DNA sequence: GCTTTCGTAGGGCGACTGTCCTAATCCCTG
DNA sequence: CAGGGATTAGGACAGTCGCCCTACGAAAGC
């Protein structure tokens, strides 16, 4: 097994553990155990824990870009693409109720730790924001595309936050329906929702 | 200085540090330093760190109840009371942009740690939810009061999450205006927003 | 064949964690 | 002033943290 394969495996495991237990609560030993490696040997692949974090964020950025590209190709219309985004709340509802949104929880943790990589983590949000803004612009809402993108992104974050606290699946479905209705209203009118 | 006074001081400092740096990242030594006590001496006031967490959550519950009571007495109409809630996003914008919402960030951290007190922390959300539902019911929306309460609570959470990531004060003000407009629409119509 | 390189195992390092104990000090009461 | 419970300081304790080093094994190139 090559070193790059092991490295990829470490990043995969770290990604999952950072999501499920948090960055700080995940130790080298935890990652090593799940990968099946000696903990001391990590130094060969990553000099520091922050380096692992950097690799995890980079992988998430790459995975997110790929996912957005798939959504762009699979969905015919901009509205359907936005729906693809909205529906991750349903698709990932179990994990969200248990661990929250992987992006916001990481951003929040790094913000509290005042970690150097906190802006990099926020870059994941920018990826979604820009992609969503692109879709709203394609819907003819060039003027306020970014505001609309941030609005729908904000809603998904709010739903994730309360879903984690209350573990209420019905709440998620109700709010997703509400987001769909909102999106439909945006499509059929050009009035600004933001005064 | 009595022991109860020292205890209160410990809880105050712990509350702030848990908010700004997170529960796990805050050590006994950190709290001791800010309070000005010997770290070993904590055992006299609190047997475990979890006990401090419990006291912090209890104090937040108490403070929140008091705040909601003040809002209830200061605002004449239910709509104005809900506006009081919405405007904490503006009033606390600086801290929110730096550390996020104190309730959701604690809930998320405890959920990831699978901590025994995670449900207690979620109880803070219940406090807001029930209070908001009470106001919506007073607005004549008894049928979907809780859904409306969760909706506005969800929005505040989403705004807080993105405000932390992007540190964008204009975004907060724009979404707050949007929430005000939504609230106004709820007042002047009895149609269900949630199909 | 031998040697070089790659990847790993295992453990040591100082620092820090939450927890716990003990001895000293404070302040209130008699 | 003397006694005694309340409160404190300071450090010991075992465990874990991220980090770093060295020796071993397994391939691969000459």
> In this complex, which of B109, B151, B159 lies closest to A154 when CB atoms are compared?
B159
Q: Does A104 touch chain B (CB under 8 A)?
A: yes
Q: Which two tokens stand for residue B84?
A: 């009081």
Flag whether pLDDT at A32 surpasses 50: yes
Long-range contacts for A49-54 (Cβ within 8 Å, ≥24 apart)?
A50/A115, A50/A116, A50/A117, A52/A10, A52/A11, A52/A14, A53/A14, A53/A18, A53/A23, A53/A115, A53/A117, A54/A117, A54/A120
Mean pLDDT over each residue of chain A, to the nearest integer: 94
Q: Which residues constitute the domain of residue B21?
A: 1-47
**Do residues B67 and B100 both lie within one domain?**
yes
Contacts of A170 (CB under 8 A, 6+ apart): none
pLDDT of res. B190: 52
**Do residues B110 and B138 both lie within one domain?**
yes
pLDDT of res. B138: 97
**Do residues A125 and A160 both lie within one domain?**
yes
- Residue A193: which pLDDT band, with cuts at 50, 70 and 90? very low
Q: What is the pTM of this model?
A: 0.94
Shortest-distance nucleotide from B46 CA to C1': C19
Please report, for the domain that includes residue B35, its CATH number: 1.10.10.60
Q: Which two tokens stand for residue A58?
A: 């980079």
What 3-state class would DSSP assign to A167?
coil
Nearest CA in chain B to A178: B194
pLDDT of res. B3: 74
Q: Can you spell out the DSSP letters for chain B?
A: --HHHHHHHHHHHHHHHHHHH-TTT--HHHHHHHHT--GGGHHHH-SSHHHHHHHHHHHHHHHHHHHHHHHHHH-SSHHHHHHHHHTHHHHTHHHHHHH--HHHHHHHHHHHHT-TTHHHHHHHHHHHHHHHHHHHHHTT-GGGHHHHHHHHHHHHHHHHHHHHHH--HHHHHHHHHHHHHHHHHHHT--S-S--
Identify whether B112 is part of a domain.
Answer: yes
**Do residues B25 and B99 both lie within one domain?**
no
Place of tokens 């990531």: B165
Q: Residues A66-88: what's their mean pLDDT?
A: 97
**Do residues B67 and B32 both lie within one domain?**
no
Identify whether A34 is part of a domain.
Answer: yes
- Residue A188: which pLDDT band, with cuts at 50, 70 and 90? confident
Domains identified in chain B, total number? 2
Flag whether pLDDT at A170 surpasses 60: yes
Q: Which two tokens stand for residue A15?
A: 């990604």
**Do residues A72 and A41 both lie within one domain?**
no
Identify whether A173 is part of a domain.
Answer: yes
User: CA at B38, C1' at D3: how many angstroms apart?
Assistant: 27
pLDDT of res. A9: 95
Torsion region of B36: left, alpha or beta (phi above 0 gives left; psi -120 to 50 gives alpha): left
Q: Across the 195 residues of chain B, what is the mean pLDDT of every consecutive 10-residue run?
A: 84 98 97 92 93 98 98 96 98 98 98 98 98 97 97 98 98 98 84 44
Identify whether B195 is part of a domain.
Answer: no
Q: Residues A149-176: what's their mean pLDDT?
A: 98
pLDDT of res. A41: 87
Identify whether B132 is part of a domain.
Answer: yes
> In this complex, which protein residues place their C-beta within 7 A of any atom belonging to strand C?
A 1-4, 6, 37-41, 43-45; B 26-30, 39-43, 47-50
pLDDT of res. B1: 57
Residues 17-56 of A with CB under 7 A from strand D: 26-30, 39-43, 47-50
**Do residues A146 and A171 both lie within one domain?**
yes
pLDDT of res. A5: 87
pLDDT of res. B11: 97
Flag whether pLDDT at A190 surpasses 70: no
pLDDT of res. A138: 97
Residue nearest to nucleotide D7 (CA to C1'): B3
Identify whether B53 is part of a domain.
Answer: no
> In this complex, which of B20, B157, B194 lies closest to A161 when CB atoms are compared?
B157
User: CA at A106, C1' at D13: how many angstroms apart?
Assistant: 34
> In this complex, which of B113, B161, B194 lies closest to A161 when CB atoms are compared?
B161
């Amino acid at each position: 097994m090559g070193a790059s394969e092991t490295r990829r495996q470490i990043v995969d495991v770290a990604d999952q553990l950072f999501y499920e237990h948090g960055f700080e609560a995940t130790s080298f030993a935890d990652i090593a155990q799940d990968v099946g490696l000696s903990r001391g040997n990590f130094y060969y692949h990553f000099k520091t824990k922050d380096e692992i974090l950097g690799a995890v964020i980079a992988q998430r950025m790459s995975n997110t870009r790929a996912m957005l590209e798939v959504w762009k190709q699979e969905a015919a219309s901009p509205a359907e693409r936005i729906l693809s985004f909205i529906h991750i709340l349903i698709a990932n509802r179990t994990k969200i109720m248990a661990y929250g949104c992987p992006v916001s929880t990481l951003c929040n943790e790094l913000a509290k730790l005042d970690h150097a990589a906190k802006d990099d983590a926020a870059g994941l949000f920018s990826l979604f924001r820009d992609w969503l803004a692109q879709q709203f612009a394609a819907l003819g809402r060039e003027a306020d595309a970014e505001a609309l993108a941030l609005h729908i992104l904000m809603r998904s974050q709010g739903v994730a936050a309360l879903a984690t606290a209350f573990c209420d699946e019905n709440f998620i479905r109700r709010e997703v329906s509400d987001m769909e209705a909102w999106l439909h209203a945006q499509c059929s009118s050009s009035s600004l929702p933001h005064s």
